[in-house]
Every structure is written in structure tokens, then in C-alpha cells.
């Protein structure tokens, strides 16, 4: 047989009280409100005002609010612990699918300047290595992107313009509807 110590019983009772805290608190608040109504009825009937009854009702309401707070705290603690465990488990699974991706030092030197690194969405979902393309921001490239967009949607949605650094981009919207 397993020995059950007093401290284990107290811990179990405390955890059960925390789990039922909102319900216990609601009952105590209702009892306190009822006692307060009885006190007001006694005063309205002209009978003597009972200070002990008023103190008991206020005490029950206060203790009830404390139990509600403890119950809500326990419930939110369980909820957020569950969320954090799921996030931790999912991040571990996602990181396990991908190996570390390092850019070679000579590749970094090539990327400096008026270039953009684009990773194709399908490649990003499977394997990042070897799927990086580099496009220079020239006027012809920007015009080509704008023409492709115009063909896709059927109308012009932007205009080509030159940036301060000499590269070219597309200004979307403005006088053209998006």
C-alpha cells in the first residue's frame, strides 16, 4: 500500500480547489449578495441593523472574488502551458526537416550592390540550397515584371521609376488602380 502523507493530501486539495475555483467563488459571491439583501431587508423593515451580517456578506463576496481569481489563473496557466508545449513541439519538428543553410563568403560579395535575392516558394518549401537566383534591378527587368503583371490581371497597375541608388522599381497604385 502506498502511504499518503498530509502534505500530499493538502496539495491534492489545493489543486482541486484551484481547478474548481471559479465555481466555488461564484457560489460564495451569490451567498454574500443574498446575505447583503437580507441585511437591507432587515433595515427596510425597521429592525435593528446587524453589523455582523453585513461583515459576513462582504467577507463572503471578497473570498468569492479571490476564488474566482485563483480559478481563472489556474485555467489560463493550463491554457498557455498547453500552447507553449505545442509551439515548442512544432518548432522542433519544423527545424528537424531543414539542415542549416550557410551562404558561402564569395556568394555574399556577389550579392552586395543593386541586386535582390529571390527564393522561389516551391524551393523554399523543399530545399533552400542551390535554389537562390539573383536579379539585378534594371529598367528592363522592372518593365518585364510590370508587363507580366499587366498580362496576368488585364490592366496596368503601376509604373516603372528609378530609385535614388540608380536601380529601377515599380510604383504600384497611384494613378493606376490596384
Other Cβ atoms within 10 Å of 146 Cβ, number: 19
State residue 47's pLDDT score. Answer: 78
Q: Are residues 106 and 32 part of one domain? A: no
Distance separating the N- and C-terminal Cα atoms of the chain: 75
Give the number of residues written for the chain: 178
Alpha carbon separation from 87 to 73, 78, 146 (Å, rounded): 21, 14, 40
Last-in-domain residue among 97, 124, 145:
97
Task: Give CA–CA dist 35/37, Å, rounded.
Answer: 5
Full domain range(s) for residue 143: 137-178
Task: Give CA–CA dist 96/94, Å, rounded.
Answer: 5
Q: Are residues 13 and 43 part of one domain? A: yes
Per-residue pLDDT for the chain (178 aa), expressed as one digit of tens each?
A: 456 687 788 888 877 888 888 888 999 999 999 999 988 888 888 777 778 888 899 999 999 999 999 888 888 888 888 888 888 877 777 766 654 444 444 454 454 554 555 555 544 444 444 444 445 578 888 888 889 888 888 888 888 888 888 888 887 776 766 5
State residue 62's pLDDT score. Answer: 93
Cβ-contact 26, 61 below 8 angstroms: no
Q: Are residues 154 and 84 part of one domain? A: no
Q: Are residues 92 and 54 part of one domain? A: yes
Phi, psi of 113 (to 5 degrees): 120, -150
pTM of the model: 0.44
Number of domains in the chain: 3
Amino acid at each position: 500500500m502506498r502511504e499518503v502523507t498530509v502534505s500530499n493530501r493538502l496539495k491534492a486539495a489545493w489543486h482541486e480547489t484551484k481547478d474548481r475555483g471559479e465555481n466555488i467563488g461564484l457560489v460564495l459571491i451569490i451567498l454574500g449578495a443574498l446575505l447583503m439583501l437580507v441585511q437591507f431587508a432587515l433595515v427596510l423593515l425597521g429592525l435593528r441593523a446587524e453589523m455582523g451580517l453585513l461583515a459576513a456578506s462582504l467577507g463572503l463576496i471578497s473570498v468569492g472574488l479571490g476564488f474566482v481569481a485563483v480559478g481563472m489563473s489556474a485555467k489560463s496557466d493550463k491554457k498557455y502551458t498547453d500552447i507553449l508545449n505545442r509551439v515548442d513541439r512544432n518548432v522542433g519538428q519544423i527545424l528537424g526537416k531543414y539542415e542549416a543553410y550557410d551562404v558561402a563568403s564569395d556568394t555574399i560579395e556577389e550579392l552586395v550592390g543593386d541586386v535582390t535575392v529571390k527564393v522561389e516558394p516551391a524551393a523554399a518549401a523543399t530545399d533552400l540550397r542551390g535554389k537562390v537566383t539573383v536579379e539585378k534591378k534594371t529598367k528592363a527587368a522592372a518593365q518585364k515584371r510590370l508587363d507580366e503583371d499587366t498580362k496576368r490581371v488585364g490592366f496596368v497597375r503601376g509604373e516603372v521609376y528609378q530609385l535614388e541608388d540608380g536601380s529601377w522599381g515599380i510604383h504600384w497604385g497611384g494613378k493606376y488602380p490596384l
